[in-house]
Chain A
Amino acid sequence: MKTTPTLGQVLQARGVSRRGFLKYCATTASLLALPPTMVPRIAAALENARRPSVIWLSFQECTGCTESLTRSASPTLEGLIFDSISLDYHHTLQAASGEAAEAARHAAMEENMGSYLVLVDGSIPLGNPGFSTIAGISNYDMLMDTVAGAAAVVAIGSCASFGGIPGAYPNPTGAVSVRDLVTDKPIINVPGCPPIPMVITAVLAQFLTFNQLPELDKLGRPKAFFGQTIHDRCYRRPFYEQGLFAESFDDEGARKGWCLYKLGCKGPITYNACATVKWNQGTSFPIESGHPCLGCSEPDFWDGGGFYKPVSTGDFGSGAALAGAAAAGVALGVAAAAVSRRRQAKTIKEG
Chain B
Amino acid sequence: MTSLDRIGVQAEPLYGNVTPILYEVAHALDRLLEQAEPTIIDLASLPFAPGELSQLEGVLGTGEIAAELDALGASHIRETAFPGVWWLEHHNTAGEVVGRYLEITRTPQILMSQDADISAGRARLVDQLEGESPDSTNGAGTSAQT
The interface of chain A, by Cβ under 8 A from chain B, is 16-20, 22-24, 26-27, 29-30, 33, 35-37, 73-76, 79, 233-238, 256-257, 275-277, 281-282, 284, 288
Contacts and interface: CB of A to CB of B under 8 A. Distances in A.
Closest 7 pairs between A and B when the two form their complex, measured CB to CB: A20-B71, A36-B40, A18-B114, A74-B98, A235-B49, A18-B116, A20-B72
A237 B15 CA distance: 9
B131 interface: no
A22 B110 contact: yes
B13 A27 contact: no
Interface stretch (B25-33, B58-66, B87-95, B133-141): B87-95
A17 B45 contact: no
Interface centre among A20, A23, A24 (most CB of B within 10 A): A23
A256 B13 contact: yes
Contact of B44 (A30, A35, A79, A233): A30
20 contacts: A16-B71, A19-B69, A19-B114, A19-B117, A20-B71, A22-B110, A23-B72, A23-B90, A26-B99, A27-B98, A35-B40, A35-B42, A74-B99, A76-B92, A76-B94, A235-B15, A236-B49, A256-B13, A257-B15, A282-B44
B129 interface: no
B117 A73 contact: no
A16 B96 CA distance: 19
B71 A23 contact: yes
Contacts of B97: 73, 281-282
A276 B96 contact: no
Interface in B99-145: 99, 101, 109-110, 114-117
A28 B93 CA distance: 16
- Range class of the B interface residue count: 35 or more
Contacts of A75: 92
Given A22-B114, A257-B49, A277 B44 contact: yes
B75 interface: yes
Nearest to B109: A22
Contacts of A27: 90, 98-99
A323 B73 CA distance: 46
A236 B16 CA distance: 10
B117 A288 contact: no
B48 interface: yes
A27 B44 CA distance: 10
B113 to A, nearest CB: 9
B90 A235 contact: no
Interface in B9-64: 12-13, 15-17, 40-42, 44-50, 52
A37 B109 CA distance: 12
A172 B102 CA distance: 52
A315 B46 CA distance: 31
Contacts of B116: 18
A11 to B, nearest CB: 9
Contacts of A37: 40
Contacts of A256: 13
